[in-house]
Amino acid sequence: MTMHLATLVALVALAAAPESPPAESDALTAIESTRGGRHWVDAATAPAKSPAESLDCFEIEPGVQIELVAAEPLVMDPVAIAFDAAGEMYVAEYGDYPTGPADADAPPLSRVVVVTDSDGDGTLDRRDVFADKLNYAHSLMAYRDGILVATDTQLLHLRDTDGDRRADVRDVIFDGFQAAHAQIHVGCPRWGPDNWVYLNYGPGTVTSRAAPDAPVTLPALDFRFDPRTLAFGSDSGAGQYGNTFDNWGHRFFCTNRSPIITTVLPADAMHRNPFFVAARANYDVAPSGGDSRVYPLVEMKSNYLSHAGTHTAACGVTAYRGDLLGDEFANSVFTCEPVGNLVTRAIVRPDGVTLTSDRARAKADFLASTDTWFRPASLATGPDGALYLADMYRLWVEHPRFLPEDIAARLDWRAGDDRGRIYRIAPAASSPEAATPRAFTPPRSTDDCVALVADANGWRRELGRRLLVERQDTSAVPALRQLLAGNDDPLTRLHALWTLDGLESLTSNNLATALGDDDAFVRAHGVRIAAPRMLQDDAVFDRVIECADDDEVQVRLQVALALGQIPGDVPQRVTQRNNALTQLALRDGDDAWFAQAVLTSARDCAGGILAGLVDDQDFANSPTASRTDLVTQLATCVVARGDRIELAALLTLVTSPGAEQTTASDTWWRDAALIGLATGLPRHRGELGRTSLTALLDNPPNALAEPAARAKALLSAAAEIAVDDTRPTGQRTAAVQLLAYRPFADVASAFDALLAPGQPLDVQLAAIDAMQSGGTQAAEIVLEQWPALGPRARAVGQSFLLRRTETTRQLLDAMADGRVRPAAVGVDDRVRLLRHGDAEIQALAESLFGGAISANRREVAERYRAALTLDATPQAGAKVFTRICAKCHRVDGFGADVGPDISDVRNRSTEALLYDVLDPNLKVEPVFSDYTVVTGDGRVLNGLMVDETAEAVVLRQAEGKQIVVARGQIEQIGTSGLSLMPEGIEQDVTVQQMADLLSFLKAHPRPQLPAE
């Protein structure tokens, strides 16, 4: 059973003392009362507090203090803050949230206001509506001579040209974005280090003001554009509401359950090698899901996820860039949690090619409030170096679309729309950093802007850079070059570098200075900037090549990415490029991210890199899983590209005379390369005219005849190696994988032997996986050996049998005649069989499994109500979890990472857990919907779609297995919208076992599960 978080875990609720089980007639009423908001909808809500009262409700990290700077009626519904070049505060007021005006014909309710100190006494006291009637406008950024505002479908440039503090010009610079709903649409614009503007979530058919008649269809990824040309496109990652850059140029974003995410591979690198499919580009910098601990001071009221004590609505992620809070806050990243009425702080640090973070406080958050109306939405660093916080101050912040209609109709979703607060966070009065902030004077000249680039406050530094680039003020170039060459602060040197780049004024000497900088981050950014210049400038190219030997891995990573910009038709560069990529792969290729970077740059040189790797004795004689995968991927690139010269060279290398007699330590890479060749042929884009390894080896082009013959001999030898139980298991499993690419009839006897009793489990699993092309003949072998197979091999064998219609019939026939017990089929597969598109299979399944799964989940829950009263043991429940749930879920570190971690469900009531398990489709998050892919060769694959590109889709199946399916192999793809966890668990779990499972999930501490 594939239990995922959206179904096993439902609503946030703090742990409560166990109650007596409800009477039978009231069972479902009690269960449903803790779902969809029912567990808190009737609870008394505290009244809204005055600004002064709410200020007294905060608990904040020692050493800092929070002070109120604006409140209603000065601001209402504030969700985002931006400061313009004069230091004036602009606020996005999200009046449309959550469902817009009650009258559908009324104008939109969102606004942008300017809040200022009109009399110079240090207190904000004036409100001017800069722009109103904006449709779902929830974020903004200072931009050129105005403000850039994100609505649900547009990016607007708002300008005040007559000085009345109201925008009289509204330019639509981008149009056509597709909003998901009020919580997810394009937004959170931020000026990036490369002088592009980056935003969250930019799908749609998008046009720019510069090219209104040239729409571009974009996927559900983040968005970026060049403000100088309005060139635009997608960026790696997919944030929700929260987007920020730190002082070093790292971009962070967030989603509800992931408070800090970043990317490793840029979007252009992800897609430039069409022969390599990168599995993913981003990762969590901070713990996510059930591991993202928070410490609220009051009960968290969420709509359907049981995430008490963890992030459930992470938003407004913000890297602190000021200098006022002191060195302790350097590299701090804050994330708002409005459902928990708190803000978290993490300290980010490098970890190899990636970043990681540590909590600033072990068991407390940066700030939290006992005022349940406090709804932090986002933060911003101010001109004074302080941190500013936008508090929407609403009674409810959930969206009604995620609640049952009857519950949503009972709530006042507008409560608090006439309120809102903005807070300033600064050093406490007793803190050593509590000195008066440096006054900010708006820049009036070029020299002023250059001075800001060297300022210690990151907000001011970015302002100086932005203004110089927006104005294309090249008079600043001499001073900027001096900062780059001679300033003591690496951040100043870094931002001077990017400013010069934005002014198109970098010389080879400037780049040489950056590439030789004492600071690794400056050198890494130097490589990034140098990359597009390498073709035109020999000196720049040579310096980048030298950086391949840099001591710091983040510099070497940028070199690996930069080399992908050198095409194969530049002979004077290619040899050095290939050698550098090979040396980088040898040094750093064991890191999966680094290996992906190399592969993105290997479009036309994968064969040469592979040859260089295996020529290194340490590499060739020291096989690891990461090295095997790298060799396979490189070989896949070679054959998918289909260049005959490169392919002949690779086949010759792999099949060098005597290869079949080589040792195990030498054979691994040959096997891996052959597997890569076989994997890549269906994606072949060249002129071979063969899309399978068998076809290529049986009828090779003349230029490949000799190495193809030797490869065929290697495949023949693979059968002998596979069944030779005197050889190491690793060598045997690699040989088994090669059997998949021989005619099945030729190796059927070998497969039969490989599934016999006494074979190592790894060999048996590899054999079943390699039998996919064997069809009904392979299925018969699996069924013949079924009695001798262990539980794991049976599970994999069953998955194999269910992938094709004809083999599914064989399995059901075996059940009908008693060779296989129907109980062997788990509830998830049972449901698919009962809903199968083939009427004959559906009828067979109904006869074997006792009819269709009950559609009346309330009736099922009534029958299982007894589980609430039975004596139960967590130890027995641990066994049920291991058998039923662990192949898709983790608890306390045990299980597979398919659905989210469900360690935190102990905070949910037992009654609610029971109904969540029995009715999994009541609420399904789209990310956990079950997808079905039908391939051209007849396979039917199910799983979560965890990634998709123009080249392939990636499905994650039970036990965490990922399958990459090339677009060219897909005949059909779709989703039912149902949970990957099926209804019908009652057919696999007795009432007593359900009681034990619930006892295990609720236990504190839980019994120890097997180590993995």
Are residues 189 and 72 part of one domain? yes
From first CA to last CA, the distance across the chain in angstroms is 20
Which residues does 339 contact at the CB level (< 8 Å), separation at least 6?
Answer: 12, 300, 301, 302, 312, 313, 397, 398
- What does the H/E/C string look like for 926-975? HHHEEEEEEECCCCEEEEEEEEECCCEEEEECHHHCEEEEEHHHEEEEEE
Residue 614 domain-assigned (yes or no):
yes
- Rounded distance, CA 937 to CA 405, Å? 44
Residue 125 domain-assigned (yes or no):
yes
8-state DSSP, 882: I
Residue 309 domain-assigned (yes or no):
yes
pLDDT over 90 at 830, yes or no: no
Residue 143 domain-assigned (yes or no):
yes
Residue 43 domain-assigned (yes or no):
no
Model pLDDT, residue 33 = 43
The percent of residues above 90 in pLDDT, for the chain, comes to 59
pLDDT over 50 at 590, yes or no: yes
- Rounded distance, CA 585 to CA 599, Å? 9
Q: How far is CA 314 from the centre of its chain?
A: 14
Summarised one tens digit per residue, pLDDT across range 208-253 is 999 999 999 999 999 999 999 999 999 999 999 999 999 999 999 9
Most confident of 11-15, 807-811, 824-828: 807-811
Are residues 305 and 355 part of one domain? yes
Residue 649 has phi, psi (to 5 degrees) of -65, -40
Instruction: Look at 5 and 858; give whichever has higher pLDDT.
Output: 858
Residue 646 domain-assigned (yes or no):
yes
- Rounded distance, CA 41 to CA 876, Å? 35
Read off the CATH number of the domain in which 346 is found.
2.120.10.30
Are residues 915 and 861 part of one domain? yes
* Dihedral over Cα of 803, 804, 807, 811: its sign: positive
- Per the listing, tokens 């290997």 go with 602
Are residues 257 and 169 part of one domain? yes
Model pLDDT, residue 947 = 63
Instruction: Look at 54 and 896; give whichever has higher pLDDT.
Output: 54
pLDDT over 90 at 11, yes or no: no
Which residues does 962 contact at the CB level (< 8 Å), separation at least 6?
Answer: 279, 946, 954, 955, 956
8-state DSSP, 310: B
Domain region containing 13: 5-35+856-867+879-1002
Model pLDDT, residue 570 = 85
Model pLDDT, residue 37 = 53
Are residues 31 and 144 part of one domain? no
Count CB neighbours of 964 within 10 A. Answer: 17
- Rounded distance, CA 585 to CA 784, Å? 45
Q: For 170-174, 194-198, 682-686, which range has the lowest pLDDT when averaged over its residues?
A: 682-686
Q: What is the mean pLDDT of residues 682-702?
A: 83
Q: Let me know how long the chain is.
A: 1012
Indicate the helix (H) or strand (E) that contains 216.
strand 211-218
Structure tokens at 120: 């110079």
Are residues 107 and 14 part of one domain? no
Most confident of 745-759, 856-870, 908-922: 745-759
Kindly report the pTM of this predicted structure.
0.82
Strands (E), 507-580: none
Look at residues 715, 742, 769 and tell me which one is the last residue of a structural domain.
Answer: 742
8-state DSSP, 108: P
Q: Mind giving me the DSSP string for 233-276? A: EEES---SS-EEE-TTS-EEEEETTEEEEEESS-HHHHHH-TT-
Instruction: Look at 893 and 606; give whichever has higher pLDDT.
Output: 606
Count of structural domains within the chain: 4
Amino acid identity at 984: G
- Rounded distance, CA 796 to CA 411, Å? 48
pLDDT over 60 at 979, yes or no: no
Which residues does 859 contact at the CB level (< 8 Å), separation at least 6?
Answer: none
Instruction: Look at 565 and 685; give whichever has higher pLDDT.
Output: 565
Q: Are 369 and 58 in contact (CB under 8 A)?
A: yes
Read off the CATH number of the domain in which 455 is found.
1.25.10
Are residues 387 and 295 part of one domain? yes
Average pLDDT score, the chain: 87
Are residues 225 and 193 part of one domain? yes
Helix, strand, coil distribution of the chain in percent, nearest 5: 40, 20, 40
Look at residues 427, 462, 495 and tell me which one is the last residue of a structural domain.
Answer: 427
Are residues 414 and 474 part of one domain? no
pLDDT confidence bin for 949, thresholds 50/70/90:
low
Q: List the one residue out of 129, 146, 139, 155 whose CA is nearest residue 85.
A: 146
Look at residues 717, 742, 767 and tell me which one is the last residue of a structural domain.
Answer: 742
Q: Round the CA-based radius of gyration of the chain to a whole number and report it.
A: 31
Q: For 294-308, 814-828, 831-845, which range has the lowest pLDDT when averaged over its residues?
A: 294-308
pLDDT confidence bin for 30, thresholds 50/70/90:
very low
Are residues 460 and 394 part of one domain? no
pLDDT over 60 at 92, yes or no: yes
